[in-house]
């Protein structure tokens, strides 16, 4: 089921300082408890909301807001880098306040790559936080947490990048050995869209599924993932992240994804000579896949064809 979460930016600073993130360690847009509750109180109770902006759980009032939002809205999704959950008491307090849906960004198991990406020496905390959050799925292991946790959903978002690609399979193996229900392998910030990257993406999907985790690939055009279409859950506007590195060949005009695709790397397209996904060739499960798209752009990207297939 696709759930459209309404983002709520709390203005919270982050305890990481990631290369690709615009959120800084400090921010002048911070909403205090009163202002944030006022903002949430003006929103319809039927909304499903997602807290965005920095590390939400770095807030001193995080547990108070978790309780307030959990009692008001249908669903509340939290994003975290996990480091703050390295402390068991923080995890249990969050769950007893009503935490149910949490997505963790886990970059890599490689210490050097993690430090380069986050510009912090925090991998051991991220790993411990991940393990604590993953263990919360087993009610028998945490008798101090109340029955609200039966609705708990924990997913992990990991990033495919030239810094993480060499150890991506190792990272996926580590994550999926913990019985995680969903894993997102995110190429949206990738600087390594190549045949090798696509091959590794396919291997990672197979590895995740073998370990009982449903894997979703974001940021790769669906034509690059033939036979893995059910694992593609994104809009393919790559030009947002890699300007000048994508193009739309004329053959794509017939593709059913014409309105949402941002093009594909030129070198790959020239080499593989992909054909479009037409209504006749579309996999039967593609209609279901479209519901996973986080963004369906209304406008065609302003990229002129630079090649012909």
Q: List pLDDT tens digits, range 89-113.
A: 899 899 888 888 999 999 999 999 9
Distance in angstroms (rounded) separating the CA atoms of residues 118 and 136: 26
Structural domains of the chain ordered from first start = 6-218 (3.20.20.70), 245-309 (no CATH)
Task: State residue 26's pLDDT score.
Answer: 55
Task: State residue 298's pLDDT score.
Answer: 35
- Banded pLDDT at 162 (limits 50, 70, 90): confident
Task: State residue 5's pLDDT score.
Answer: 86
Distance in angstroms (rounded) separating the CA atoms of residues 68 and 112: 39
**CA torsion through residues 29, 294, 95, 205, sign:** negative
Of these ranges, 15-24, 72-81, 180-189, the one predicted with the greatest mean pLDDT is 72-81
The single-letter DSSP state of residue 236 is: B
Phi, psi of 217 (to 5 degrees): -95, 125
- Banded pLDDT at 276 (limits 50, 70, 90): low
- Banded pLDDT at 11 (limits 50, 70, 90): confident
Task: Give the mean pLDDT of the chain.
Answer: 77
- Banded pLDDT at 27 (limits 50, 70, 90): low
More reliable by pLDDT, 296 or 40 = 40
Neighbour-count burial of 201, counting CB atoms closer than 10 A to its CB (0-12 exposed, 13-18 middle, 19+ buried):
buried
Q: The pTM is what?
A: 0.78
- Banded pLDDT at 225 (limits 50, 70, 90): confident
- Banded pLDDT at 143 (limits 50, 70, 90): very low
Across the range 238-257, mean pLDDT stands at 53
For the cut 60, the answer to whether the pLDDT of residue 218 exceeds it is yes
pLDDT digits (tens, 9 = 90+) for 58-90: 899 999 999 999 999 989 999 999 999 999 989
Across the range 256-271, mean pLDDT stands at 61
Task: State residue 226's pLDDT score.
Answer: 76
Across the range 275-286, mean pLDDT stands at 59
Task: State residue 291's pLDDT score.
Answer: 34
For the cut 50, the answer to whether the pLDDT of residue 231 exceeds it is yes
- Banded pLDDT at 21 (limits 50, 70, 90): confident
Number of H helices, E strands in the chain: 9, 7
For the cut 90, the answer to whether the pLDDT of residue 244 exceeds it is no
Percent pLDDT > 90 in the chain is 38
Given a contact cutoff of 8 angstroms between Cβ atoms, the answer to whether 126 and 82 are in contact is: yes
Question: Quick one: which of 89, 129, 87 has its CA closest to 105?
Answer: 129
The half-sphere exposure of 135 on its side-chain side, counting CA atoms within 13 A, is: 17
């Amino acid at each position: 089921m696709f759930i459209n979460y309404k983002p709520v930016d709390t203005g919270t600073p982050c305890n990481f300082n990631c290369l690709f993130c615009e959120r800084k360690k400090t921010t002048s847009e911070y909403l205090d408890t009163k202002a944030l509750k006022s903002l949430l109180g003006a929103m319809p109770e039927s909304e499903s909301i997602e807290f965005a902006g920095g590390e939400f759980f770095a807030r001193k009032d995080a547990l108070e807001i978790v309780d307030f939002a959990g009692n008001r809205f249908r669903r509340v999704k939290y994003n975290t880098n996990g480091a703050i959950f390295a402390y068991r008491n923080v995890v249990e307090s969050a769950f007893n306040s009503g935490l149910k849906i949490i997505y963790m960004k886990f970059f890599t198991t490689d210490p050097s790559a993690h430090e380069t990406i986050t510009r912090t020496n925090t991998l051991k905390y991220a790993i411990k936080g991940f393990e604590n959050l993953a263990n919360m799925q087993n009610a028998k292991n945490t008798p101090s947490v109340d029955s609200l946790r039966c609705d708990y959903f924990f997913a992990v978002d990991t990033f495919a990048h030239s810094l993480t690609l060499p150890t991506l399979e190792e990272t996926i193996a580590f994550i999926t050995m913990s019985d995680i229900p969903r894993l997102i392998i995110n190429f949206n910030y990738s600087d390594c869209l190549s045949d090798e990257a696509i091959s590794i993406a396919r291997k990672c999907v197979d590895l995740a599924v073998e370990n009982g985790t449903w894997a979703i690939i974001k940021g790769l055009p669906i034509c690059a993932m033939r036979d893995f279409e059910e694992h593609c859950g994104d809009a393919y506007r790559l030009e947002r992240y890699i300007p000048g590195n994508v193009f739309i060949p004329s053959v794509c005009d017939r593709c059913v994804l014409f309105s949402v695709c941002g093009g594909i790397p030129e070198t790959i397209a020239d080499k593989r000579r992909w054909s479009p996904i037409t209504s006749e060739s579309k996999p039967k499960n593609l209609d279901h896949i479209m519901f996973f798209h986080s963004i369906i752009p209304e406008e065609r990207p302003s990229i002129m064809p630079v090649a012909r297939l």
